[in-house]
Structure 1
Amino acid sequence: MRVIIGSCGHKFAIEVGLQEPVVDIKNKIAQLLGVPVASQTLAVCGLELLDGLDMEDYPIVSDGTKIDLTIKYRMAPSNFYHSDKIQIIIKFSARQLHIEVDRTETVRSLKEKIHIMDGTPIKRMSLFFCGTELEEDFRHLNEYGIHEFSEIIVFLKSMSRVKYDPPSKRLSLVVQTSSSLLNSARIPMEMKDSSTVKELKELLLSGKILPADDYLFIHKQRIMRDNCSLKWHGVDDGDFLYVFKGTVCRS
């Protein structure tokens, strides 16, 4: 029979047998999502499914039943940190997922896991790490420097860009200064979306549009990172970037 596994608002279906132990179902989920069996709790209508029992021990479970999956990661002792398994954070514009992967897993495999958990079509995904797009599906995650608790940003291509995705495009944007800087001036700019915040800053300083000083930029209430591109930050044509004097320290 086919049951629906639901977790954090996301669903996917798997085939299970009546005499299949609960722990075997957890193993299937572990293979699909990379979530350790020990971190999984399965329940139906608030009733936990125990590892030592089979599906036929739960008459409440039938074809099409929704089984709730709760994931609770446990911190491993320090002497176990040499494992190739790492946890990473997948960030969308309004939500995020936590996924366990192998360091040597490929970009394509990661996209497949995101598709299983979130339903996002693989062809629409553009993955970014520290401002760099993970363009080559066959490369391993560790080749891009991805490590424990790395944040992978997911941008969704529009349907018109699925077949053809130009490497970069020009953006018209407005740099808005604070009231204490150039009296709240609005500075129109044109930049490639592949340009970094650092390059934008250098352009403003070299053209003496801004006086020499330290600055930080904000886009949609988020502080922007110097070494990340405008595309990485999700900057669209016509957007405002707010500039203030100051620096930010990241731990």
Structure 2
Amino acid sequence: MRVIIVTGAYEFAIEVGLQEPVLDIKGKIEQLIGVPVASQALSVSGWELVDGLDMEDYPIVNEGTKIDLTIKPMLLMPIANQFRKIQVIVKFPARQFNIEVDTTETVRSLKEKIHIMDGTPIKRMSLFFSGIELEEDFRNLSEYGVLHEFSEIVVLLKGMSRLRDEPPLRTLSLVVQTSSSLLNAASIPLQMKDSCTVTEVRQMLLSRKILPIDDYLFIHKQRIMRENCSLRGHGVENGDYLYVFKGTISRTGS
């Protein structure tokens, strides 16, 4: 059956089985949005779902039931680990290099460092991490999840001269990996242009009847992929795996 996971920023649907343990459902949520299992609390109508029980133990959970997800602040990463110096990999379409940053630095500060090292005008940069654009220059890198050594920052260029700065489109050889409840965890080889969006990937899989008609979420490196963002924008490389699950995400806030 399909249930709706609701958190402050958005809600999304996932498939669960009647005999599926609560702990396994938390594992799915970690794969989808990156929140560690230990930081999750799931509840329905104020009743917390206990890890050792399964859905059969909760008769109030039916098709379409909304399950509230609370992220426990006491289990977040310690401050000492959040604010430290790390090396990040800055990836242009045709080149890459490493930069040392402090995770408390702002997006603007990172753009300035890239400009100093590479000469690219700051106004032309759009930075992406795990498919998410670092849109607000005043925010810290840690607020966008840039916390770990060798995090990959993808740089796309704005402006009329963009085509001169980017290499020709590439064809990527990928593997679409389904979940155990979908096609028995099949591995589907796929070739797509790196300019293709996630929507185009989905449409191709549906039109060729590789996947049955349904709503799907695509995951790359444990991050949900955005519908209108290209494979290149998500930092997808040749040979990467895209994980697909049944479900949708509907934003409820800005």
TM-score bracket for this pair, using the shorter chain length: 0.3 to 0.5
The normalised TM-score by structure 1 is 0.43
Task: Determine which structure has greater relative contact order: mean sequence separation of CA pairs < 8 Å that are 6+ residues apart, divided by chain length.
Answer: 2
Pair member with larger Rg: 1
The normalised TM-score by structure 2 is 0.42
